[in-house]
């Protein structure tokens, strides 16, 4: 099968072999991924809560100062996530929960951008912020479920 041969090809990449076989590589990537997700989703949750009206007394636009925290989170989570993905491509890419995680995180990031882009908030900003919060939480939950829902680890 073509897909399996692609997975097998990725599994032969030096980065993939190193991530699987080195004593620390996979493990360090997991720690960095957890840090990155905590920064990214943690800040996302706070900005969503503020968008929903919690913590009145500070304008939502002032929370733009925390966007570098989210960028830092993404800078940690994305490369480490790529290492985890390259190590076991079949494990992630044959699991629908992985697609759900991605859809939630991309949806949350797009809604966050919409909430933070303008000085004047969209009229339905509370609903958007609540949806954004749900998507951040959904992304986290799906990420944790990945470990328990995969069907195959490697093809080679």
- Among positions 30, 93, 116, 130, the unique one binding another protein when judged by CB under 8 A: 30
- Among positions 4, 9, 15, 55, the unique one binding another protein when judged by CB under 8 A: 55
Which residue stretch of 23-31, 80-88, 105-113, 117-125 sits at the interface with another protein (rule: CB under 8 A)? 23-31
In terms of CB distance, is 89 or 143 closer to another protein? 143
Per rule CB under 8 A, is residue 155 in the interface with another protein?
no
Query: Per CB under 8 A, which of residues 108..137 are in contact with another protein?
Result: 136-137
Per rule CB under 8 A, is residue 102 in the interface with another protein?
no
The CA–CA distances, whole Å, from 109 to 94, 100, 103, 117, 135 equal 24, 14, 10, 12, 9
Closest by CA position to 104, among listed 151, 147, 21, 41: 41
Per rule CB under 8 A, is residue 66 in the interface with another protein?
yes
Answer whether 153's CB lies under 8 Å from 94's CB: no
Number of neighbours of residue 63 by Cβ within 10 angstroms: 17
In terms of CB distance, is 38 or 85 closer to another protein? 38
Answer whether 145's CB lies under 8 Å from 91's CB: no
In terms of CB distance, is 40 or 155 closer to another protein? 40
Answer whether 60's CB lies under 8 Å from 47's CB: yes
Question: Which residues are near another protein by CB under 8 A?
Answer: 27, 30-31, 34-35, 37-39, 41-46, 49-50, 54-59, 62-66, 68-69, 136-137, 140-141, 143-145, 147-149
């Amino acid at each position: 099968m073509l897909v399996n041969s692609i997975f097998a090809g990725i599994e032969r990449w030096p980065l993939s072999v190193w991530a699987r076989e080195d004593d620390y590589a996979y493990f360090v990537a997991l720690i960095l991924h957890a840090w990155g997700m905590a920064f990214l989703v943690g800040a996302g949750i706070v900005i969503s809560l503020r968008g929903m009206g919690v913590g009145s007394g500070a304008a939502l636009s002032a929370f733009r100062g925390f966007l570098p925290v989210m960028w830092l989170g993404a800078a940690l989570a994305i490369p480490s996530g790529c290492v985890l993905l390259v190590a076991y491509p079949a494990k992630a890419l044959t699991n629908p929960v992985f697609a759900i995680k991605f859809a939630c995180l991309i949806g949350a990031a797009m809604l966050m951008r919409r909430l933070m882009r303008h000085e004047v908030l969209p009229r339905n900003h509370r609903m958007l912020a609540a949806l954004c919060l749900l998507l951040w939480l959904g992304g986290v939950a799906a990420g944790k479920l990945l470990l328990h829902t995969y069907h195959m680890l490697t093809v080679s």
